[in-house]
Amino acid sequence: MNKFCFVIHPLSLEDVARYEPGAKGKGDAIMRKIMEWMPPWTVAHVTGVRAPDGREIEGWFVCAPLLPEQMIEFRREQVYERILAAIQLGVDLGAQVAGLGAFTAVVGDGGVTINERSPIPVTTGNSLTIGAGVDSFFRGAHEMGIDPVDATAVVVGATGSIGGACVRLIAPKVKHVILVARNETRLQKFHERTAAEVPCETSYTTDISAAVRRARLVLTATSSTNDVIEPEDLQTGAVVCELSLPHDVSRRVAKERPDVLVTEGGNMTVPGTPRFERFRERGSDFDLNLPPRTALACMSETMVLALEGRFEPYTLGRGIDLPKVIEMNAMARRCGFSLADMRAFDAAITPERIAEIRSAAEARRRAGAVV
Ligand SMILES: NC(=O)c1ccc[n+]([C@@H]2O[C@H](COP(=O)([O-])OP(=O)(O)OC[C@H]3O[C@@H](n4cnc5c(N)ncnc54)[C@H](OP(=O)(O)O)[C@@H]3O)[C@@H](O)[C@H]2O)c1
């Protein structure tokens, strides 16, 4: 049976206790301090991932215990060492390919150096994240009755590995796409190249708020550790497809904007009878904070590579190859993976919920909302 490992890390202090129940009740400062030296550990044993033709794999979630802000603040080498030590745990258990979760794929050069130093091939999982994200983005537009051809879209984090590819995949289907990031020089260069390649109108800005105010459709994929999308900026009946981990969309949007559809774009349904069993506390399940049979798209890409026996560094760095995104989408479908049901703010988005969002948007328009 082919084997994989996937590097996870806590996205917040609450996450630390979910990963390591022994951390419950400890103060924030002490938890941060402990994580400065804490070695990686194996969190979960993954079984039951089975393609429709019967191919099955086995894997492990290994934890590099650093928070997103620590991944950014700590010395690059210190972070690489921690990630490589986590991969080594997977290698010792027999993993043949490794995936990088959340900020372990963002730090430094987006997996290139880690892959060079790793004994097994490494992928960021971004190809499938991009494919799933773009599908979720257009599913959201459809559910809200928005015809993309007439709509302005904004991609926040447009110069990133995920955002850049999403821009190129979204652009042929919308009227106008606005590119947003913080580094203006990089953004301007990326815009120059992209504008020449894509068929729709394009523009760019570093002003997130102004860009979001102009768009019905929003895709966000930044490496920010703070909220980026605020309720005051969203158009009536807007769609926000969220790919970032930790999330970019302020929790206030859930409370203050019942007329807006927010959807996590990077979740996949896993084929077979997947189980994520805690490695040390055998018999109990590891809570991924997702519904049963659901995994992140980046995890799913690593599983697909294991199922297909493609032990190669499939997705690395910031310049994503669009044909590989298309190939990975096709491989994932062949292996039985599909886009997970819509979800946001820890809850499912049912058809009834969509109807409520649409009628809240109608009511807001009738009440004279300007946008
Ligand atoms: N759901 C999933 O399965 C999944 C899978 C993989 C990754 N992810 C998540 O996706 C996100 C993006 O990953 P990536 O690999 O594309 O990262 P990346 O290559 O580092 O790109 C990050 C982008 O965000 C921009 N950015 C950072 N902070 C910003 C801010 N405060 N405001 C506006 N733009 C900002 C960056 O440009 P500037 O620095 O110029 O602003 C850049 O364009 C991360 O949160 C990652 O954890 C999710």
Low-confidence ranges of the chain (pLDDT < 50): none
Residue 266, ligand 1, Cβ within 6 A? yes
Task: Write down the H helix ranges in 215-275.
Answer: 252-256
Q: Provide DSSP, 89-102.
A: HHHHTT-SEEEE-G
DSSP state of 315: S
Q: Provide DSSP, 285-307.
A: B---SS-TTEEEHHHHHHHHHHH
Long-range contacts made by residues 310-314, C-beta under 8 angstroms, separation at least 24? Answer: 310/97, 311/96, 311/97, 311/120, 311/121, 312/97, 312/121, 313/111, 313/115, 313/121, 313/122, 313/123, 314/121, 314/123, 314/127
Question: Shortest CA distance to 59 belongs to which of 99, 115, 15, 117?
Answer: 99
Helix pair 322-334, 161-170: axis angle to 10 deg:
90
Query: What's the pTM value of the predicted model, to 2 decimals?
Result: 0.96
Residue 110, ligand 1, Cβ within 6 A? yes
> Atom 20 in ligand 1: which residue has the minimum CA distance?
106
Instruction: Give residue 103's pLDDT.
Output: 95
H or E stretch at 276? strand 272-278
**Residue to probe by mutation, ligand 1, list 167, 222, 249, 329, most atoms within 8 Å of CB:** 222
Residue 298, ligand 1, Cβ within 6 A? yes
d(CA 220, CA 240): 7
* Strand-strand pairing, 97-100 and 152-156: unpaired
d(CA 163, CA 171): 12
Find the 308 Cα to ligand 1 centroid distance in Å: 28
Find the 223 Cα to ligand 1 centroid distance in Å: 3
Q: What domains, with CATH codes, occur in the chain? A: 2-127+267-338 (no CATH), 128-266+342-366 (3.40.50.720)
Instruction: Give residue 36's pLDDT.
Output: 85
Find the 361 Cα to ligand 1 centroid distance in Å: 29
Instruction: Give residue 33's pLDDT.
Output: 86
d(CA 141, CA 148): 7
Task: Write down the H helix ranges in the chain.
Answer: 13-19, 28-37, 68-73, 76-92, 112-117, 126-143, 161-170, 184-197, 208-213, 252-256, 297-308, 322-334, 351-366
Find the 41 Cα to ligand 1 centroid distance in Å: 26
Find the 21 Cα to ligand 1 centroid distance in Å: 29
CA angle at 135 for the pair 129 and 138, rounded to the nearest 5°: 135
Residue 156, ligand 1, Cβ within 6 A? yes
Find the 354 Cα to ligand 1 centroid distance in Å: 28
Atom of ligand 1 nearest to the CA of 264: 1
Residue 163, ligand 1, Cβ within 6 A? yes
Residue 138, ligand 1, Cβ within 6 A? no
As a residue count, the chain comes to 371
Instruction: Give residue 369's pLDDT.
Output: 77
